[in-house]
Amino acid sequence: MSETSETAAVSPSQPNPLLKAWQTPFETPPFAEIAPEHFLPAFEQAFADHSAEIAAITHDPATPDFANTITALERSGKLLSKVSAVFYDLVSANSNPALLEIDKEVSLRMARHWNPIMMNAVLFGRIALLHDNRATLSLTSEQARLLDRTYTRFHRAGAGLDEAAKTRMAEINERLAHLGTAFSHHLLGDEQEWFLELGEADLDGLSESFIAAAKAAAEERGMPGKTVMTLSRSFVDPFLRTAGRRDLREKVFKAFVARGDNGNANDNNEIIVEILSLREESAKLLGFPTFAAYRLEDSMAKTPEAVRGLLERVWKPARARALADRDDLQALVAEEGGNFALAPWDWRYYAEKLRQVRANFDDAAIKPYLSLDHMIEAAFDCATRLFGVTFSERKDIPVWHPDVRVWEVKDSAGKHQALFYGDYFARPSKRSGAWMTSLRDQQKLDGDIAPLVLNICNFTKGADGQPSLLSPDDARTLFHEFGHGLHGMLSNVTYPSLSGTSVFTDFVELPSQLYEHWQEQPQVLRQFARHYQTGEPLPDDLLKRFLNARKFNQGFATVEFVASGLIDLEFHTQPAAASRDVRAFEKAELEKIGMPAEISLRHRPQHFGHIFSGDHYASGYYSYMWSEVMDADAFGAFEEAGNIFDPAVAKRLHDDIYSSGGSRDPEDAYVAFRGREPEPDALLRRRGLLETPEAA
């Protein structure tokens, strides 16, 4: 929300901007006019409108057909979608205390609104009748897919349960909505409240760009002239890699991993226990033995056993590589005269030193060549060469914060295709992490509706007009989220429910992770990795060392991820009673898999927002790795063609993956693109975890 909108007065004589037609370019949200007080009245109206639309469908006296039931459902709730998209963008990307309070109310009201819809027996009866007779309906392939997904969605929500079970399911859903909101608010609270002021003696090893960003962070916190560390991952990761003060690395690391686990008002332990208990109960009401069994039935993986099989297959070689690296790091500590055992807050620091020895490369050497603006250009250029889309910046589109930038996207024929919003910098009002979302999805049901797609990141902002310099991980994140963005922008479907990223969780990461491959291609880096001061291109020697260093420390990276995936799976396959003591459960599970003591989970349970802020990734964190099997294999199609921008392969990628949204079964879509199922060892090969001379 813009600074003006946070203080905008709400006048009874002025119409609510959320309830009127937007007289802005491309009918985009007029953020400067929107105040927190506008949201509850807008939600009230949206809920009422949607309920009336659902009632009209439910009680339509005409015989159910695709148009009066499924298409009518697709057309319903437009105002609710419009208001929700703006609200949740602001809550996550530019919150304030007023919005967070409203969020508590909205999450409860949202559950109370959707429960009677998704469990409406009469409405479900209409959908089920069509589903039972689908072979006789002469549907297009997209309509058949939509009918199947609509039936599945209602069935899995409990529409077929008896009344007592529906009542209990509604209670569970309301409580889970409240708990998920509380979890994310607690996490944001811990991140906002903690900071570490750094004095001159504390800056050893830190780059000039990092120090400048830390001074800018102090300014944002009302501490001009100071230098502060925050708990944004974009601060924590480089600090742990480069800070020479071991005691400060320990302090920062412990604060970072303790988010949501401090025994204060933001503690998430009791919330986790209750969430797991309620999820288990809801799964059993629906006839499943565990929440994981329920969740994974509607995924590519299908079963917890399939997920565990993939994670364990990767775990063994990753752990072996990590343990070997640990011994080398400990030896390096001893060489430097360190009389201590390697600890989790030491790993990144000594791994960076070891990488300099083995690969003659460190992140600090390449960061001056990875300015944010140049990497945005690179991401755009790759999309132009692959898919024909072009990007031109617009200064006339309203935004929620002055740092947000907007580009108009046009297709190869020059026709408007989308707007793309980039919100790249960390700030206290933004939740941590990086994500893609939308303010409006593509559809063609009622006119050709172009999407409004958002990328939200937490990069450190350059100070005093200096550009933001990205680490290799940051640059990869930018391409990852832009891959999601392309999935939304290139969508070409008729029905809103099948638009863009509306696909299985373990397929949705394919377009994003696949796009990462272009960021590390020599011809892309040679063109766009230019020194931010001199404009000189990335030297060939440094490029070669960077590419050779890519597989370094992959044991660590894979272990911290796979361990988090396994913990997620165990939380949702074991009885909820087993995890009443969250810390003890975490400890026991890590001991069971042989987690190296020197490596921490990428996400400890108490701040594992992927699985506890909502249920989208619950039992589904493995999805990133499931998709990586496909993305590593999929990029092979370009390598085999001998051209990373091969037009024929790119056309299949566009048609079968990026533009088809949820209109196709994901396995069919992948096979249509690749000509076969993915080859699982591609993942291990990409991470350098196969026992081959190349990987050794």
**Catalytic positions, please?**
481
DSSP state of 201: G
**Per-residue b or e along 648-687, where b marks 16 or more CB atoms closer than 10 Å to that residue's CB:** ebbebbbebbbbbbbbbbbeebbeebbeeebeeebbbbbb
Q: Is 120 helix (H, G, I), strand (E, B) or coil?
A: coil
DSSP state of 136: G
DSSP state of 369: G
Which of 58, 31, 60 is CA-nearest to residue 119?
58
Which of 94, 50, 55, 58 is CA-nearest to residue 75?
50
Work out the angle between the directed axes of helices 163-193 and 97-118 (0-180°, nearest 10).
160
* Rounded-to-integer distance, Cα 394 and Cα 402, Å: 13
In angstroms, what CA-CA distances link 195 with 231, 236, 412?
7, 11, 48
* Rounded-to-integer distance, Cα 555 and Cα 564, Å: 14
Q: Could you tell me which residues come within 8 angstroms of residue 354 by beta carbon, excluding any fewer than 6 positions away?
A: 325, 328, 329, 332, 552
In angstroms, what CA-CA distances link 623 with 504, 506, 599, 616?
9, 4, 22, 11
* Rounded-to-integer distance, Cα 636 and Cα 634, Å: 5
Q: Is 76:54 a contact under the CB 8 Å cutoff?
A: yes
Q: Could you tell me which residues come within 8 angstroms of residue 258 by beta carbon, excluding any fewer than 6 positions away?
A: 190, 606
